[in-house]
């Protein structure tokens, strides 16, 4: 077990989570809860893998994967924004819908060979830094580096730009935004779409970079749900989302590696001698998410950085006493 | 000659020389005619008051002018040009800005951010420090003191209102509409607001002002238009040509008594006894600091004080909505400290809360559901685990009649009711069953003079019937005319108790002077 390797793998694996979490943060900031992230990620993974194979170019694959997830997210937009239906119910159905489509259309994709993947490379100079260079800047796929750029950009967009200010306002108090002549419905459609695009990108990152291939539900294996949880842990802040994503990624790697050595801290390694304990280990990252979630939301309560106030509520114009 | 002059007059009626002319405005809502051929004119540089009973259609008319609603009939001219507004944005572009009864501010954002909301400048990068300075300068110019970097949730209601005004001024509004701006303000804040309004008219802005408080209307406005049941009963009369009684008559259509009479009666046993109560507010700060008071059967006890000094928290603790960290609440001889609200209801406690839309009613439920909320388990409305719909509807219809609630029918959602009628729904529920103890928080806030009279009579009836009433109000006049005794609260402590209605003493205690200090001072000056 080598710390640098675990962290490096954590950053790589966490990138998929990061994209999906950032997308869900933007959606929730506009006041819409979308529980369909897992399904949208799977659809993105399936579509991008298939299209990369068809066009022989992973980037075209990613483009299609993002668009597919973005389009399917608009079903949720129509149901929750226009029809003003319950967001939890609609999000869960979206999840089934997108998962179903992916499984049907993705049938047999795992037998493909030689599908073009996202290239990996070192960042010159930065990769020379001891330890940090190995963890963050060496041998990663291009998408990892895209992730690094996206975190500060998303933060800047939300906190320091005019559209970002409108985004925050629409999730907090939509009637105030409406009264200023901004289209609340249009904005919500848009940010649900953006959330879909990013979930699709997260899925594509898995099937075309992190663990290449399409293995039905196992491709995403619940990471979409973890992304939904990380949003709360991140307190709707992209920078905390990056931490959450990378730590979770590292944990996934750690539980794999922990089964390797015969001795663990000088003791006989129980996970080495009882391979069945592996199931327990695989559960740990998810249990960790639950714990972190509880701690995170308690901290949020204490510091009074709650969820966007209008999260989960349909906006109905002219309704008195919001 | 005669002919010509009448012709002239006719021309003048048709031609609009004012900044705003609204002609023949009609607005229907399902089941109500909110505006019935209303004419309204606003002159440049004036403060024009709009008066009327609850539900008379004042807010509706102004919402039309502000582009929030579309009129069914009638036309609007601004500066002599006909306008058609499809959204508030169009109205703002025409120089019309409205400060609503409920503020339209995003609580988690700063003052500057709220002011910039929806504007096309800045284009992308916010550059808040630059705009903070611009806002600060504008605030200075109009005497609207507020920190541009503060978050809205940190501000008092008065400050939030200033933000709303700044928002409109920043958008270049020349015509300002204020819907009941003083209803939520403390007396000193009202004075500040009036200074600002005068400063604004000096700069050529024109202001429409909705209020139920006649003395305010007399103090600040140049002219007044009165609405009754959607129709104009008096249009643009000069304030100098009228009086408080005259205005009240125009609003309600009958004489209004400003002072209700109460007869002498001996109070009975102590019903409510609050002993050394400590509690925190929603922000986790100390709000109550050892409150001790009592209310006896058959008396009205007033609690005077500027809003935010712990009144709300005290009412919450007594009704079981908030935990006390120390002390005791005893109702009818039983200790109910920190028990659920249900325990209080069982002991006959009724509560008229300050927050009508969230605590007082369930906005999306019907009038019927709202009035049976407390007795739905009792016969004949409740039968076992079922609710008898016919009995509930019948009960609601009776209350609608008894309390004169103006609503198309009892199945209407209460969120569609005007402020005054909403209050009547709460009153109907809370006092129709004779309560042992009634906690009334600002029961007449936002009500028209006619309705105030009605509510005050109802409170006195409770007193005569032997209920103990704790009346929390900021209106000194109301407290003095209704209460047998008055406690004054300041920063979570009782400053003293007044039985003789000495306004001066109460005023001093409201600013934080202890009863003893006042007495000592009095003795000194006598020496
Ligand atoms: N959005 C709406 N939908 C249905 N009915 C409405 C709506 N807005 C107002 N009304 C009704 O129109 C009438 C006029 O209401 P409005 O709010 O204009 O009264 P108001 O004069 O402002 O009263 P108050 O002094 O109580 O604020 C009321 O009967 C009210 O119930
Ligand atoms: Mg109104």
pLDDT value of residue B527: 57
**B203 contact partners, CB below 8 Å, separation of at least 6:** none
Does residue A201 carry a pLDDT above 50?
yes
Q: What is the pLDDT of residue B257?
A: 66
Residue B30 has pLDDT above 90, yes or no: no
Q: Residue A245 above 60 pLDDT?
A: yes
Residues whose CB falls within 8 Å of the CB of residue A32, separated by 6 or more in sequence, listed in order: A76, A77, A80, A81, A87, A188, A191, A192, A311, A312
Is pLDDT above 70 for A321? Answer: no
Domain ranges of chain A: 3-304
Rounded average pLDDT over A36-41: 97
Task: Find the CB nearest B88 among A163, A166, A179.
Answer: A179
User: Does the distance separating the beta carbons of A160 and B126 come in below 8 Å?
Assistant: yes
Residue-wise burial string across B206-219, b where 16 or more C-beta atoms lie within 10 A, e elsewhere: bbbbbbbbbebbbe
Closest chain A residue by Cα to residue B417: A320
- The segment with the largest mean pLDDT, out of B368-377, B384-393, B427-436, B480-489, is B480-489
As a whole number, the mean pLDDT across chain B is 86
pLDDT (0 to 100) of residue B12: 43
Q: Just give the CATH number of A3-304.
A: 1.10.3470
Overall size of chain A counted in residues: 322
Tokens of A225: 């749900």
Q: Is there an atom of ligand 1 within 6 Å of B417 CB?
A: yes
Instruction: Measure B418 CA to ligand 2 centroid, in angstroms.
Output: 6
Query: How sure is the predictor about B5, in pLDDT bands with cuts at 50, 70 and 90?
Result: very low
Strand boundaries in A159-305, DSSP class E: 263-264, 267-268
The answer to whether residue B107 neighbours chain A at the CB level (below 8 Å) is yes
Residue A4 to residue A10: CA distance in whole angstroms: 10
Cβ of B92 under 8 Å from any chain A Cβ?
yes
Q: Is B99 on the interface with A (CB under 8 A)?
A: no
What is the structure's pLDDT at B295?
A: 95
pLDDT value of residue B290:
92
**Mean predicted confidence (pLDDT) in B53-66:** 91
Q: How far is residue A243's CA from residue A248's CA, in Å, rounded to a whole number? A: 8
DSSP string, B189-251: HHHHHHHHHHHHHHTT-EEEEE-S-HHHHHHH-SEEEEEETTEEEEEEEEGGG--HHHHHHHH
Which B residues 137-176 touch A at CB under 8 Å? none
Helix (H) or strand (E) holding A14: helix A3-29
Q: Whose CA is nearest to atom 2 of ligand 1?
A: B416
* Residue with the two structure tokens 């049907």: A104
Q: Which residue has the higher pLDDT, B446 or A225?
A: A225
Strands (E), B386-433: 386-387
Task: Collect all residues of chain A within an 8 Å Cβ-Cβ radius of residue B68.
Answer: 179, 318
Summarize pLDDT for A170-186 with one digit per residue, the tens: 999 998 898 887 899 99
**Is 60 exceeded by the pLDDT of residue A12?**
yes
Give the model confidence (pLDDT) of B149-171 as tens digits: 999 988 877 889 999 999 999 99
At B136, give phi and psi (nearest 5°). -60, -40
Query: Which of B123, B129, B127, B180 has the alpha carbon at shortest distance from B157?
Result: B180
- Residue A44 Cα distances to A64, A101, A210, A248, A288, angstroms: 8, 11, 14, 21, 26
Share of chain A above pLDDT 70, in %: 96
> How far from each other are the two terminal CA atoms of chain B, in whole angstroms?
77
d(CA B524, CA A316): 63
Band of residue B512 on the pLDDT scale cut at 50, 70, 90: confident
pLDDT digit string (tens) for A76-130? 999 999 999 999 999 999 999 999 999 999 998 988 888 999 999 999 999 999 9
User: Could you tell me the two tokens for B526?
Assistant: 């006598």
Reported in sequence order, the residue ranges of chain A that DSSP labels E, i.e. its strands, are 120-121, 140-141, 263-264, 267-268
Predicted local distance difference test score (pLDDT) of residue A304: 57
Integer CA distances (angstroms), B286 to B158, B439, B472, in order: 22, 22, 20
* Strand B175-179 to B206-210 pairing: parallel
Cα distance between residue A184 and residue A181, in whole Å: 9
- Give the model confidence (pLDDT) of B183-199 as tens digits: 777 777 888 899 999 98
Burial category of A306 from C-beta neighbours within 10 Å (exposed 0-12, middle 13-18, buried 19 and up): middle
For B317-363, write each residue's pLDDT tens digit: 999 988 999 999 999 989 999 998 888 888 889 988 877 776 778 88
Which residue(s) pair with B75 in the sheet? B23
**Gap between the Cα atoms of B356 and B411, Å rounded:** 19
Give the chain A residue nearest B116 (alpha carbons). A162
Residue A18 has pLDDT above 80, yes or no: yes
Count CA atoms closer than 13 A to A107's CA, side-chain side.
4
Mutation pick for ligand 1 pocket among B32, B63, B228 (CB with most ligand atoms within 8 Å): B32
Q: Which of A226-230, B2-6, B175-179 is predicted least confidently?
A: B2-6
Subunit contact A169:B357, Cβ cutoff 8 A: no
Q: Is the minimum distance from the CB of B211 to ligand 1 under 6 angstroms?
A: no
Token pair of A211 as six digits: 């663990």
pLDDT for B164: 93
For residue A202, name the pLDDT band (cuts at 50, 70, 90): very high
Within 10 angstroms of residue B38's Cβ, the number of other Cβ atoms is 25
The pLDDT tens digits of the residues spanning A147-156 come to 999 999 999 9
Judge: A179–B102 Cβ closer than 8 Å, yes or no. no
Residue nearest to atom 6 of ligand 1 (CA): B416
A267 vs B459: which has the higher pLDDT:
B459
Closest CB to A172 among B108, B125, B416: B108
pLDDT at B42 over 90: yes
Q: Residue A72: what pLDDT?
A: 97
CA A225–ligand 1 middle distance (angstroms): 45
Chain A residue with minimum CA distance to B361: A321
* pLDDT score recorded for residue B294: 94
The answer, yes or no, to whether residue A300 has pLDDT greater than 90, is no
Residue nearest to atom 18 of ligand 1 (CA): B57
Å from CA of B59 to ligand 1 middle:
7
**What ipTM goes with this model?**
0.86
Contact B107 A173 (CB under 8 A): yes
Domains of chain B (ranges plus CATH)? 2-252 (3.40.50.300), 263-348+436-448+467-527 (3.40.50.300), 354-434 (no CATH)
pTM exceeds 0.90: no
Of residues A46 and B491, more confidence is placed in A46
Position B11 confidence tier, pLDDT thresholds 50, 70, 90: very low
Which helix (H) or strand (E) segment holds residue A12: the answer is helix A3-29
Residues near ion ligand 2 (Cβ under 5 Å): B 59
In our burial notation (b when 16+ CB lie closer than 10 A, e otherwise), range A254-283 reads bbeebbeeeeeeeeebebeeeeeeeeebee
The per-residue pLDDT for B347 is: 87
Burial of B345 per CB tally in 10 Å (0-12, 13-18, 19+): middle
Which residues of chain A lie closer than 8 angstroms to B69, CB-CB? 318
Across residues B388-399, what is the average pLDDT?
A: 89
A295, burial (CB in 10 Å: exposed 0-12, middle 13-18, buried 19+): exposed
Position B209 pLDDT exceeds 80: yes
The residue whose two tokens read 């879909």 is: A196
Distance CA A245, CA A12 (A): 10
Q: What is the pLDDT confidence band of residue A167, given thresholds at 50, 70 and 90? A: very high
DSSP state letter for B337: T
């Amino acid at each position: 077990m080598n710390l640098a390797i675990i962290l490096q793998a954590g950053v790589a694996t966490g990138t998929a989570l990061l994209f999906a979490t950032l997308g869900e943060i933007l959606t929730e900031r506009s006041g819409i809860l979308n529980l369909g992230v897992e399904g949208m990620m799977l659809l993105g993974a399936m579509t991008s893998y298939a299209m990369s194979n068809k066009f022989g170019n992973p980037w075209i694959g990613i483009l299609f994967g993002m668009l597919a997830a973005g389009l399917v997210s608009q079903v949720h937009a129509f149901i929750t924004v226009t029809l003003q239906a319950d967001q939890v119910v609609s999000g869960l159905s979206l999840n089934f819908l997108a998962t179903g489509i992916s499984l049907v259309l993705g049938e047999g994709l795992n037998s493909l060979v030689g599908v073009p993947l996202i290239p990996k490379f070192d960042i010159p100079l930065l990769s020379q830094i001891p330890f940090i260079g190995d963890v963050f800047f060496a041998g990663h796929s291009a998408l990892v580096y895209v992730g690094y750029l996206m975190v500060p950009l998303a933060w800047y967009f939300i906190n320091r730009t005019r559209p970002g200010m409108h985004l925050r306002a629409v999730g907090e108090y939509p009637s105030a935004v409406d009264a200023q002549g901004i289209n609340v419905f249009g904005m919500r459609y848009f940010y649900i779409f953006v959330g879909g695009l990013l979930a699709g990108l997260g899925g594509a990152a898995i099937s075309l970079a992190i663990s290449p291939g399409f293995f039905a539900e196992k491709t995403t294996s619940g990471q979409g749900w973890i992304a939904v949880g990380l949003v709360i842990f991140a307190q709707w802040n992209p920078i905390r989302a990056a931490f959450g994503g990378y730590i979770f990624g590292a944990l996934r790697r750690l539980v794999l590696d922990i089964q390797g050595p015969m001795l663990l801290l000088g003791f006989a390694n129980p996970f080495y001698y009882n391979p069945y304990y592996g199931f327990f280990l695989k559960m740990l990252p998810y249990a960790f998410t639950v714990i972190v979630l509880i701690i995170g939301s308690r901290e949020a309560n204490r510091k009074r950085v709650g969820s966007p106030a209008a999260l989960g509520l349909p906006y109905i114009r002219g309704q008195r006493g919001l | 000659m005669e002919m010509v002059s009448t012709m002239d007059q006719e021309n003048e009626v048709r031609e609009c020389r004012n900044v705003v002319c609204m002609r023949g405005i009609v607005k229907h809502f399902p089941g109500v005619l909110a505006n019935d051929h209303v004419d309204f004119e606003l002159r440049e540089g004036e403060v024009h008051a709009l008066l009327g009973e609850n539900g008379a259609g004042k807010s509706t008319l102004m919402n039309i002018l502000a582009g929030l609603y579309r009129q069914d009939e009638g036309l609007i001219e601004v500066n002599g040009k006909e306008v058609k507004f499809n959204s508030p944005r169009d109205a703002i572009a025409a120089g019309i800005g409205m400060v609503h009864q409920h503020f339209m501010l995003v609580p988690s954002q700063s003052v500057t951010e709220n002011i910039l909301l929806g504007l096309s400048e800045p284009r992308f990068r916010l550059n808040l420090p630059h705009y903070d300075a611009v806002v600060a300068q504008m605030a200075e110019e109009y005497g609207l003191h507020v920190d541009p970097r503060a978050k809205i949730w940190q501000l008092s209601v008065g400050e939030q209102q200033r933000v709303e005004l700044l928002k409109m001024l920043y958008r270049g509004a020349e015509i300002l509409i204020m819907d009941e701006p003083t209803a939520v303000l403390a007396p000193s804040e009202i004075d500040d607001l009036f200074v600002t309004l005068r400063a604004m008219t000096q700069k050529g802005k024109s202001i429409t002002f909705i209020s139920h408080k006649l003395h305010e209307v007399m103090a600040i406005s140049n002219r007044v238009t009165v609405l009754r049941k959607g129709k104009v009963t008096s249009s643009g009369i000069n304030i100098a040509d009228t009086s408080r009684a005259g205005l009240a008559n125009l609003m309600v259509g009958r004489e209004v008594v400003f002072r209700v009479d109460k007869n002498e009666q001996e109070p009975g046993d102590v019903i409510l006894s609050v002993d050394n109560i400590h509690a925190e507010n929603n922000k986790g700060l100390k709000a109550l600091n050892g409150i001790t008071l009592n209310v006896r059967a058959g008396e009205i006890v007033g609690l005077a004080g500027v809003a935010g000094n712990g009144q709300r928290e005290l009412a919450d603790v007594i009704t079981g909505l908030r935990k006390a960290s120390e002390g005791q609440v005893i109702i009818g001889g039983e200790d109910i400290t920190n028990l659920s609200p249900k325990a209080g209801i069982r002991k006959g406690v009724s509560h008229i809360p300050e927050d009508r839309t969230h605590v007082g009613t369930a906005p999306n439920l019907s009038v019927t559901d709202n009035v049976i909320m407390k007795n739905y388990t009792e016969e004949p409305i409740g039968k076992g685990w079922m609710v008898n719909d016919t009995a509930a509807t019948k009960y609601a219809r009776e209350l609608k009649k008894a309390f004169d609630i103006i609503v198309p029918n009892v199945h209407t959602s209460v969120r569609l009711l005007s402020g005054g009628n909403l209050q009547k729904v709460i009153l109907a529920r809370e006092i129709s069953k004779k309560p042992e103890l009634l906690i009334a928080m600002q029961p007449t806030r936002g009500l028209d003079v006619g309705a105030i009279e009605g509510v005050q009579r109802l409170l006195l009836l409770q007193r005569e019937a032997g209920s103990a009433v704790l009346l929390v109000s900021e209106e000194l006049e109301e407290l003095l005319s209704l209460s047998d005794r008055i406690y004054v609260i300041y920063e979570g402590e009782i400053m003293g108790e007044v039985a003789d209605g000495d306004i001066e003493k109460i005023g001093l205690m409201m600013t934080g002077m202890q009863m003893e200090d006042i007495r000592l001072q009095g003795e000194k000056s006598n020496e």
